[in-house]
Structures are given as structure tokens and as C-alpha cells.
Amino acid sequence: MTVSKMAQNLIGSEIIRIAGEVNTMIARGEQICNLTIGDFDPAIFPIPEALKDSITEAYQQGHTNYPPANGVAALRKAVVTFIQERQGLQYPENDILVAGGSRPLIYATYLAIVDPGDKVVFPTPSWNNNHYCYLSGATSVMVETSPANNFMPTAADLKPHLKGATMLALCSPLNPTGTMFSKKDLEEICDLVLEENRTRATGEKPLYLLYDQIYWMLTFEGAQHFDPVSLRPELRDYVVYIDGTSKCFAATGVRVGYAFGPTTVIDKMKSILNHVGAWAPKAEQMATAKFLGQEEEVGSFLASFKGKVQQSLNVLYNGFQELKTEGHNVDAIEPMGAIYLSARLDLAGKKTPNGEVLQSSKDITFYLLSEAKLAVVPFSAFGSSHDLNWFRLSVGGASVEAIQASVDRLREALQKLQ
């Protein structure tokens, strides 16, 4: 059967492929510490009690019909107040767009801004930009980053690629690394965008900045989140923010995301999603609107939630530092935000107990899965080279005890290598 060229050539998610292997092993009864998916086990990280109660209440009140295509007014108003009070960002209700999580909003941003063949610049590793470029027909300009700067792009990294580009896609805290922009680095990038737009002729499409800050409330140990418009207000006409409740409230399945930005772009995104129908359920929207206005409940939940996430990340990070001290060729970057640890497992060239030589990050991934019962995702799943032996470890789906046990099994697996 013939399908479209787009569908025929679409590359599947490497993360989902690895997760499928993990699920097969679990179905066979194997005990796997699954650190692959950027999700939360509700038994470990439940959503806020007040939010759960409000969702139930909203269904009981009959909020089961279609919501407005751009989001219920109560939620858009609540988002206006929430981002103003917490980030100092002032956007009118009309410039808030609600959808079923952040994914449709990112895709709608691409479709609203990018024409086929337009250049989209983004760092690697980063989440899914290569796939959104493919779906929108954009020309991907992937800018390699390094652990020396915590895998965050610098102005020097990006500057050679911005001439003639239509969009720069950034994320902080970054999926997959759990690292963040410093104020200085983001200021310099913002200045580059402004400088580039000053060179564009009247009527020429500007350089837009897609800024994914879905993890911005999950920051640790004094790390501070920065955003473009707060640093450079003159960027307001060029920045589309991607945000929502999925990560900061462990509410991935509640599916309430929102975007905000320049009126012209947001209005076109509304039209696109109007045809797609990627709405968040009305009851969940009503409940989220109520919860965002409960300052005490929000603050209490975040304090507890962030503490638990950081504890899990610290156990993992400290485990890698112990392994490094023991002489194993591993390392990790101290987590700053989100739910991810960036870990280096430089095992290429090592021989496994059955005589196979590990050659790529893919080989290392499946060796760890089989020998350590530890499931991780290589940065190659996020656009980086298969030769880059860095990995994303996500702590949302595992207990502290399971994570600690996985470090012990990892030690044993490393000791078996020659």
C-alpha cells in the first residue's frame, strides 16, 4: 500500500523504541530500572491533591463538552496572572493559547512561522526539533554543543548560523540534559537575535525565537531560570513561549499546555490548532485555572515535589561520582533543573563478557539494559552523534531505592568489561 512520502520517510522515536524493548523485558518478569521516559510514576510523584480534587469537581459539574478552541477564558486569565506574578511577563488574555500539552503548541509554532525550506537553527542535543523540522519541511541547522558549557549553546556557537534563518529553537531547563542557560549566555543570544533582525528589510520575515520553558519551575540549588523577554523586552515581537503544567505539577497525562507570544503568530497558531482539534479537555482546563490561582497550594506542592525530584537526581549524580572516583570511565553533570541527569558512559572499545566490542552509544545502551537492568537514552536520540557517549537519565518513573540499586548493578556491569 502506498503512503505519502512524508509518512514513508518519517523516522520513529528512538526513545519509544528503547522503551519498547524495556517493556518487553518487564513483561518477561525482569526487574528494570527504567530511566528512559520523561514521565512520572503517579505512585511516586502524584499530581497536586488540590488539582486532582478540582478535576473531579469539574467533571461532576458537567464540563464535558468542547472547550473554546483557544482555551477556556478562566484558564487563559489564570495564566496571565500566573506568568505576571511569577516571571513578570505581561501578556493579554488574547495572546494565550491553550492546547493538549506542549507538543501541539510546538508543532503549531513551526507551522505558523516556517515555510518549507526555511532554516531552523537548534542545538544538539535537544528534544524533537529534528522531527518538527521534517514535518514542517524546514531545513535543519543543528548546532553541536559540548559538556564544557553543560550542553547549552552559546552566542558564539549560534552566530554563524543565524543569517537568513527563520527560527531559533531553544529550551531551558533543557531536555535532555537537565542544564540551564546562565543569564550572560542567554543575554548574548538575545542580542544576536535582535542584531540579526535589525539587518532584515521591511517586509522580510524576521528571525523568531521559540523558547520552550516547560520545566522552568523545576530548578535546584539556587539555579535561576531566565527568559528572553524579561532580559530584552524589545524581543517581545519575536518570541513564542511554550509552557504548561505537565512537568512542574507531575501532570503529564492531564494534558494542559499553553503558549504565549506575539499576537500575529498566536492568532495563526489558533487557526492551525482549530483545524487539528488538539484541545486540552475542558474539565482539566477548568481545574487548572482554579489551581493556578491557589498560591498557597501551588507553593506547597512545588516545595515538596522539587525536593523529591532533587533527591532522586542527587542519588544518581552522587552514584556516578563514586563510580568515577573508583576509576570507571563515567561522569555526570550536576543537575540544575528538570528531571534529567546528563551522564557520560565512555565505554566504546570495551569488550563485554561474551566477547562483543562496544562501538557506539547504541551498543552501550543495550549492554546496560541487559547487564545492569538499567534503561537509559543516548543523546543520539536527541540529534547528537552516535559516537557521543552521553546519555539522558530521567528520574520521574523510579523510586530512590530503585535508582540506588541500579547504581550498584551498573558498578557490577562496568566491572565485567575488559
pLDDT of residue 17: 80
The pLDDT tens digits of the residues spanning 211-241 come to 999 999 999 988 999 999 999 999 999 999 9
Burial grade of 169 (CB within 10 A; 0-12, 13-18, 19 or more): buried
The pLDDT tens digits of the residues spanning 63-113 come to 999 999 999 999 999 999 999 999 999 999 999 999 999 999 999 999 999
pLDDT of residue 27: 87
pLDDT for 1 beyond 80: no
Residue 294 grid coordinates: 491557589
Mean pLDDT (whole number) for 119-142: 97
Helix (H, G, I), strand (E, B) or coil at 338: coil
Residues 97, 260: contact at Cβ < 8 Å? yes
CATH superfamily of 5-45+299-416: Aspartate Aminotransferase, domain 1 (3.90.1150.10)
For 168-236, the DSSP string reads: EEEESS-TTT-----HHHHHHHHHHHHHHHHTSPTTSPP-EEEEE-TTTT-B-TT-----HHHH-GGGG
| Sequence-separated (6 or more) residues with CB below 8 Å from residue 171 | 126, 127, 211, 212, 213, 214
Residues 376, 35: contact at Cβ < 8 Å? yes
How far apart, in Å, do the first and last CA atoms of the chain sit? 48
Residue 353's CB is within 10 A of a number of other CB atoms, namely: 11
- Domain definitions of the chain by residue range: 5-45+299-416, 49-294
Question: Which amino acid is residue 222, in one-letter code?
Answer: G
pLDDT of residue 24: 87
Question: Which amino acid is residue 5, in one-letter code?
Answer: K
pLDDT of residue 222: 85
Rounded CA-CA distance 362/212 in Å is 28
Residue 406: which H helix or E strand, with range? helix 400-416
The b/e string for 88-113 (b: 16+ C-beta within 10 A; e otherwise) is ebebebebbbbbbbbbbbbbbbbbbb
Long-range CB contacts for residues 17-23, cutoff 8 Å, separation at least 24: 18/365, 18/369, 18/375, 18/377, 18/381, 19/375, 21/366, 21/369, 22/369, 22/375
Residue 142 grid coordinates: 543543528
Confidence band of 401 (pLDDT split at 50, 70, 90): very high
pLDDT for 273 beyond 80: yes
pLDDT of residue 131: 95
pLDDT for 18 beyond 90: no
49-294: CATH number: 3.40.640.10
Rounded CA-CA distance 379/124 in Å is 8
CA distances from 332 to 62, 93, 322, 335, 345 (A): 49, 42, 11, 9, 9
Whole-structure pTM over 0.95, yes or no? yes
Which residue, chain included where needed, has cell 486532582?
52
The pLDDT tens digits of the residues spanning 146-157 come to 999 999 999 999
Identify which of 9, 13, 88 has the alpha carbon closest to the alpha carbon of residue 380: 13
